[in-house]
Amino acid sequence: ELDPNYVGSGDVKYHLGAQGTYKHPRYGTEVNVTLAPNPSHLEAVNPVVQGMARARIDELQDRTFSKVLPILVHGDSAIAGLGIVQETLNLARLRGYKTGGTIHIVINNQIGFTTTPEDARSTIYCSDIGKMLQIPILHVNGGDPEAVLTAAAFAIEYRQMFGEDVIIDLMCYRKYGHNETDEPAYTQPLLYKKIKTLPAASEVYRDHLIDEKILTRDEADGIYTEIHQRWENAFAASKEANPKELQPPPKVDMFAPYATGVSADLIRELGEKLSTVPERFTVHPKLADLLKRRGEMVAHDKGIDWGMGEALAFGSLLVEGYPVRITGEDAARGTFSHRHAVLTDFITESELILLDRLRPEQHPFYIYDSPLSEFAVMGFEYGYSVQRPEGLTIWEAQFGDFANGAQTIIDQFISAGEAKWSQTSGLVLLLPHGYEGQGPEHSSARLERFLQLCAEDNMIVANLTTPAQLFHALRRQVKRTFRKPLVVMTPKSMLRAPQAVSKIDDFVHGTFQEVIDDDSVHAEHVRRVLFCAGKVYYDLLAKRAKLGAEDVAIVRLEQMYPFYEARVRQILQRYERAKDVVWVQEEPKNMGAWFFVAPLLSELLLISQTLRYAGRPASASPATGFIAVHNLEQEALLDAAFGQF
């Protein structure tokens, strides 16, 4: 049931999106119109709109790219000054992102808040960024309605004929300042003295029509009266409507189990088809061995690894009729050569996607290597996921560290879109994360930042340890009756760890486990409980075996948010004889999950239990760049986990 007192955070009215239908007054044809919600971070919505458009195009299976039209409205300072504009323009002709051309309308006020053009750009025109695509750029006098109409008509016809972007640079002015409270004469007194003397564009055009005897004065006055009445009616209707920001999201049970398992027969069928290539296709010799091993993993239940577990998740959804889309800078092969979803013929370089050849009636599988962009591409996939909630949409970082290049999308859309605009998304972020001595830019996906953004069940943050867990987490994204973003700290070295495998039964009878208890110990003998997440679990297992520490239980917190309080409490009570509870992490103390989980675990401890930390000391940099130092740090944190305190 909905909480009648919940009103959400909402947003200022000019950020809210809308949907409607425009009906042509003469021909009666209808056009569905969607206005995307947007934050004050100018231009950040550009790739989101493109993603929404591409999702609709794919849904309609419109191979002509002529039925859906993205329109982006820019400011002159914004289009010249913000790099996301270039990133989005660069998507225009790429096969994974093209939308058949976008119409860009620049509201050129010739000033950005208080900044004049000579301080805002190094180019003559604000629209010169469009020259990178060699597309039409129309500079139009905003005070000439007929010229504006002609430019718009040209833009539509050109776009429909050539499938290319068009920019309309609408030269005009800002009459009242940046917003309702601004005083523009503080900084541009001469300009605003001139603006105050200018008649409104509508008045100039009205007088022109009267002089040309196209309208009489009475007819013109009648048009004005009709327009003002329409505005008054719309204003009155808006007062009666329930504002979008006051519509609370439905209450959902974030821990309700969902049936994400599949039959053993389907697993075996997928295993065979994902390891067999046509006779005339020449596989790279190394990949031939990989495909053979993948087939044997399933056929003989030898232990399914991360790459195969992921492929089984994709394949099972595809044959069930769900769309699956994944993009990233190396998504086809996988940065760490674990995926190989797109095979390249060793002789001809033709491509083969086995996930597209499972069954005749399956849904197409969309996988694309993205351009070298985080901001625009993550925004695009967010928009895609909003428009296609029935499918699985994934953005994968080359290294999780680079997701901070898209922090605006994470902060403004992924974490807060539902609270601000009631806009839901099931986007999945796969962010490679783990400390293997690869340096400060190849170790941390900044888990702490995601956790800091978590509240009100706004998203899911996980650091998983088995392929089956990934399988169930991905399938749960689609099987749930609601949509939440999922952020996964994915592995690197663990991709090939012989212990990090799952059995067929884990995919058939299993379900996603937010917390995994230690079933290898006797609870009555346990004197210490280690809580951890991700790769460090396997380091702890090896250390425990080396020490023969059978009185230590290792519990995996697979899903950090939402935090499964009831399950953790149950586990702590099971180990009631354990007085030492330790949170173990690879990240420095000021990073990772420590500051997030510490207060949560502290509240659940038994009166006899004490919580402590084992991990790297606080650091300005996410990780060392020296492998020898890394090894010393890793051994020290393992010693701290098992040592005296």
What average pLDDT does the segment 94-109 reach? 97
Per-residue pLDDT reduced to its tens digit, 513-541: 999 999 999 999 999 999 999 999 999 99
Give the pLDDT band of residue 242 (cuts 50, 70, 90). low
- Written as six digits, the tokens of 68 are 């859906």
Distances (CA, A) of 288 to 275, 341, 356, 628: 9, 13, 19, 36
Is-contact 396 430, C-beta < 8 A? yes
Say whether pLDDT at 72 is over 70.
yes
What average pLDDT does the segment 325-345 reach? 96
CA 292 from chain centre, in angstroms, equals 34
Q: What is the greatest pairwise CA distance in the chain?
A: 99
Is-contact 287 333, C-beta < 8 A? no
- The mean predicted confidence, pLDDT, of the chain is 94
What is the C-alpha to C-alpha distance for residues 86 and 81, in angstroms, rounded to an integer? 10
* pTM metric for this prediction: 0.95
Predicted pLDDT at 500: 96
Give the pLDDT band of residue 245 (cuts 50, 70, 90). very low
Predicted pLDDT at 238: 80
Per-residue pLDDT reduced to its tens digit, 555-589: 999 999 999 999 999 999 999 999 999 999 999 99
Per-residue pLDDT reduced to its tens digit, 120-156: 999 999 999 999 999 999 999 999 999 999 999 999 9
How many C-beta atoms surround the C-beta of residue 402 within 10 A? 18
- The candidate with the shortest Cα–Cα distance to 597, out of 618, 609, 580, 612, is 612
Say whether pLDDT at 285 is over 70.
yes
Predicted pLDDT at 6: 44
What is the C-alpha to C-alpha distance for residues 272 and 356, in angstroms, rounded to an integer? 14
- The candidate with the shortest Cα–Cα distance to 521, out of 548, 494, 557, 558, is 548
Question: Counting every residue, how long is the chain?
Answer: 645
Query: What backbone phi and psi angles, to 5 degrees, belong to 172?
Result: -150, -155
Predicted pLDDT at 11: 85
Query: Residue 489 class from Cβ within 10 Å (0-12 exposed, 13-18 middle, 19+ buried)?
Result: buried
Give the pLDDT band of residue 35 (cuts 50, 70, 90). very high
What average pLDDT does the segment 496-510 reach? 95
| β-sheet with 528-532: strand ranges across | 515-516, 552-557, 528-532, 580-588, 610-616
Predicted pLDDT at 497: 93
- Written as six digits, the tokens of 322 are 């769900």
Give the pLDDT band of residue 9 (cuts 50, 70, 90). confident
